[in-house]
Structure 1
Amino acid sequence: GAELTIDSDQILELKEVPRRLAVIGGGVVGMEFAAMFAALGSKVTVLEMLPQVLAMVDSDLVAVYTKHLSGLGGEIHTNSKVSRVVKQNGGLQVQFSTGGEGGAVDADQVLLAVGRVPFTQGLDADKAGVKLDRGRVVVDEHLHTDADGIWAIGDVIGGIMLAHVASYEGVCAVENIAGHGNRVPDYHAAPNCIYTDPEIAHVGLGEKEAKEKGIAVKVGRFPFAASGRALTLGQSEGYAKVLADPETGKLLGAHIIGPRATDLIAEATLAVQNGLTLEQLDLTIHAHPTLPESLMEAALAAQGRAIHIANRRSDTTTRAASGPTSPQGGEANMQNREKDMAATIKPSTPPSVPSAITPKLLELKKDNRDFLLGLHRQMQLIRRFEGRGGNGGRRRARAEEERLHLHQLPRARPRDRSRHRPQGRDGRALRQGNRHLAR
């Protein structure tokens, strides 16, 4: 029944929004269209053969997205294998099986989004001496093929099949062709952007990959619910997450789900590409209120130095264990984190402050950072105490008494301005603009 389905090009040519849309494939393309049509009012059902949609994304981020899609009436069936698509009752029906049990989804349109492969048909690559491997052009580390004078880039060579990666490969290939050096593409900091709602973006190492490889990392998160800019935009879902080496603090990866995530990932990409540390990231002044502050705050949280959320010891240092993380476990952990974050968007208990505060202690130096952060937190707690009825409460009471006292004082009589207005011949007061009529 593949002839009854449409692809990612044909779905953009639809003249009306389908009332029911079935999406076969839970990859990037499938989930982007699922998010778009769910927002437009379609009843969206996603069928994915793997245990998790967006398999390349950490499960805690996926949990946030699936929760949002569910709120729009969407459904996701994982571990589901589609058997066929048939016409049924004037529409279409997708038949599938999950764990040996059969199921069916009725739809008006069925989007087939199971991924793309390199398109090399008709190139006559063998005649040019270009070697193919299962339809993919084979290149060396400099993007040169087996044939003299022929280089290849982009989707036809496989790898990371993204437009911005192909553009980067094109620059490397042209420089090699022009003899400007032997450029070898470096993919370790290639950002991946997913235009769902909310947006998802990530770069570098993820928690799932770290656990599978047994790499120790420390993790910091900052929820957009604590971001002033996100709140003014009315988009407080999601968070920014950073992963770093626990010994050196070197940033290894960043993962964002939330408003403008695909824009925010640029700063993290620069940091990962150049081996910057969490400290270098958090010591960079970020404008306020802006969304990029979330990365700085996540870097602080990873070091146990969070200011606008509580520091959680379990999040600041995580020892990676072998074995992949299940989506269910990741979702449960994320729900617990969201509850903790929602309940603790306030400064944590600050360290003690010395009784004698000298000008030297107030200097903006690295050695004074812990002290200054603690002082800042204490000032926040004092303000909160005053707002709940401490000294501030007594001051407000005195101000209220003064207001009531002034309210009881006799007021001066208002001035009768009509007696001072120019008079006309009939004795009536004239408006300022009509004085010439009385002359």
Structure 2
Amino acid sequence: MANQTANQYDLIVIGGGPGGYVAAIRASQLGMKVGVVEREHMAGICSNWGCIPTKALLRSAEIYSHMGHAKDYGLKATEFDFEISDVVKRSRQIAARMNNGVSFLMKKNKIDIIWGEAKLKKGGEVEVGPSSKTAMEPAVPAPKGVLPHGTYKAKHIIVATGARPRILPGIEPDGKNIWTYFEALVPDEMPKSLLVMGSGAIGIEFASFYASMGAEVTVVELLPQIMPVEDKEISAHARKRFEKRGIKILTEAKVAKVENGKGGVTAHIELKDGRKEKIEAEKLISAVGVQANVENIGLDEVGVKTEKGFIVTDGFCKTNVDGVYAIGDVAGPPMLAHKAEHEGVLCVEKIAGMDVHPMDDNKIPGCTYCEPQVASVGLTEEQAKKTGREIRVGRFPFVGNGKAIALGEPDGLVKTVFDAKSGELLGAHMVGAEVTELIQGFVVAMNLETTEEELMHTIFPHPTLSEMMKESVLDAYDRALNI
């Protein structure tokens, strides 16, 4: 299938993030000649400015928090502190390691890297020029061993350009007092106070990190609950835990105006009941979502359809233009790296003529790595009720699990939602220690169309946190054993 003509490929992927590089690797495995156009950093936002470095920061915060509670574990840790520069340094080193790892995978799979900014042209052409300055970083020099600017051709082109922080008018980040997640990842010093706008995964993770490191944190959310995509019961549990940690939370609240001064910001908040409140903080993190990178990449020139700021695709990532596809954040929510990776593989396999299934958004897990962690898949209880089905709901608290108690993590909840007639698992929702590692069990179960009976007959190891998964299933059918 490979084409030996210079500058001509079977597949060109625009964007080297988690969706793009995975698509490229799968295409290479299937015998295609592949090129990846990247303008800033291999491995994309996820590994450089998102998923991975934030988890590194949160791990430091977790350990620091445990050190403060050493006495609870029969230990003594009377003197401990941190230098934020060292915490940030560790995070950036891990990001660099991931970046280098993806570059190695490109070389291993004989994938060409074309360094620069891509623009779609008619006739299956991609014009690559110099990288412009972006909202992320100044343009960076091309690494060694990459192909030069020029025009490249491909039978198939996958757009995987990702997304960037959404900016609200009047609250534009200045890199000093008003931050996006880029600045929040690399603070020069630890702020004493912080205001977080938005309580999605990004906002809550940063709120959790900075609170653990000693900052006075306030979260402002426009909607009635924090983490709006999560089950209401799980969200309420998490909110109580956050507030117990000292995080102030305002829901159904709007940041109407922000005054940016030398010493920090003053935010004017409008509450649902008409009250107004002023909050002063050294820093403000704007975490009100992201917007797709659809500008200046030639979509209009070749006629690719967009809607509400995202590229429109079918179930196999194909756009309305033959030979052009889109995956990941640029193709719409959920804005998750694992969703992008899955789309990359199914898109390439469809191109190769393989028998693949379209993406089922209902089976994409979501994870938030705050303290406590939150993880979910499928329908919430409220969503399941709206389908008109008769449902059964099971719950099991961490306090009924021996491993959770031994870990010193007795607060949490596992919740399952079933179709009462068929036994189909409609959704699973968790809050507590390590639930981001547990949720995959329910994801596998849903993909295998497992019923409650099969889950009940599954033997879970003891003592583990995973036993709560089975107990929540048992509880849905009034058969819980340990509570």
Does the TM-score normalized on the shorter chain lie above 0.5? yes
CA displacement, residues 79-124 of structure 1 (integer Å, 9 cap, x when unaligned) = 1111111135832211111132211111010000000121111101
1:188 maps to 362
Following superposition, the deviation at residue 17 of structure 1 comes to: 1.8
Is the contact made by 1:235 and 1:259 (CA closer than 8 Å) also made in structure 2? yes
Matches within 5 A, 1:125-204: 125-181=299-355, 183-204=357-378
Determine which of 439, 445, 464 is the counterpart of 1:265: 439
The aligned amino acid for 2:172 is A
Is the contact made by 2:385 and 2:391 (CA closer than 8 Å) also made in structure 1? no
The aligned amino acid for 1:113 is A
Does 2:241 correspond to 1:68? yes
Pairs aligned (count): 309
Matches within 5 A, 1:217-232: 217-232=391-406
2:297 maps to 123
Q: Matches of 1:147 and 1:263 in 2, distance apart? A: 39
Q: Matches of 1:282 and 1:253 in 2, distance apart? A: 16
Is the contact made by 1:191 and 1:203 (CA closer than 8 Å) also made in structure 2? yes
The aligned amino acid for 1:2 is E
Bigger RCO (CA 8 Å, 6+ sep): 2
SS in 1 for 2:385: helix
CA displacement, residues 179-230 of structure 1 (integer Å, 9 cap, x when unaligned) = 1135422222111111111111111111121233333210111111111111
Is the contact made by 1:194 and 1:200 (CA closer than 8 Å) also made in structure 2? yes
Following superposition, the deviation at residue 37 of structure 1 comes to: 1.1
2:200 maps to 27
Ranges in structure 1 where 5+ consecutive residues have no aligned partner: 310-439
Is the contact made by 1:38 and 1:69 (CA closer than 8 Å) also made in structure 2? no
Q: Matches of 1:69 and 1:145 in 2, distance apart? A: 42
1:252 maps to 426
Following superposition, the deviation at residue 137 of structure 1 comes to: 1.0
Is the contact made by 2:256 and 2:270 (CA closer than 8 Å) also made in structure 1? yes
Determine which of 253, 267, 275 is the counterpart of 1:94: 267
1:353 maps to none
The aligned amino acid for 2:221 is E
Matches within 5 A, 1:384-423: none
Determine which of 143, 147, 172 is the counterpart of 1:2: 172
1:59 maps to 232
Does 2:444 correspond to 1:274? no
Is the contact made by 2:390 and 2:421 (CA closer than 8 Å) also made in structure 1? no
Structure 1 stretches of 4+ moved >6 Å: none
Following superposition, the deviation at residue 26 of structure 1 comes to: 1.6
Ranges in structure 2 where 5+ consecutive residues have no aligned partner: 1-170
Determine which of 460, 470, 473 is the counterpart of 1:286: 460
Is the contact made by 1:188 and 1:273 (CA closer than 8 Å) also made in structure 2? no
Following superposition, the deviation at residue 178 of structure 1 comes to: 0.9
Is the contact made by 1:154 and 1:167 (CA closer than 8 Å) also made in structure 2? yes
Is the contact made by 1:229 and 1:290 (CA closer than 8 Å) also made in structure 2? yes
CA displacement, residues 133-176 of structure 1 (integer Å, 9 cap, x when unaligned) = 23211112221112221111111110321100110011110001
Does 2:211 correspond to 1:38? yes
Point out the structure with the larger strand share: 2
Q: Matches of 1:16 and 1:5 in 2, distance apart? A: 14
SS in 2 for 1:140: coil
Is the contact made by 2:377 and 2:428 (CA closer than 8 Å) also made in structure 1? yes
The aligned amino acid for 2:427 is G
Q: Matches of 2:316 and 2:343 in 1, distance apart? A: 9
Does 2:47 correspond to 1:47? no
Determine which of 407, 411, 427 is the counterpart of 1:233: 407
Q: Percent identity?
A: 38
Q: Matches of 2:319 and 2:420 in 1, distance apart? A: 41
Q: Matches of 1:180 and 1:125 in 2, distance apart? A: 27
Following superposition, the deviation at residue 265 of structure 1 comes to: 0.4
The aligned amino acid for 2:190 is V
Is the contact made by 2:318 and 2:324 (CA closer than 8 Å) also made in structure 1? yes
The aligned amino acid for 2:215 is S
Q: Matches of 1:207 and 1:215 in 2, distance apart? A: 11
SS in 2 for 1:9: helix
Q: Root-mean-square deviation (CA), in Å?
A: 1.4
Q: Matches of 1:199 and 1:233 in 2, distance apart? A: 15
- TM-score scaled to structure 1, two decimals? 0.68
Q: Matches of 1:301 and 1:135 in 2, distance apart? A: 43
Determine which of 187, 190, 194 is the counterpart of 1:17: 190
Does 2:379 correspond to 1:208? no
SS in 2 for 1:304: coil
Point out the structure with the larger helix share: 1
Q: Matches of 2:287 and 2:226 in 1, distance apart? A: 12
2:57 maps to none
The aligned amino acid for 2:438 is L
SS in 2 for 1:57: coil
Matches within 5 A, 1:340-351: none
Q: Matches of 1:74 and 1:264 in 2, distance apart? A: 26
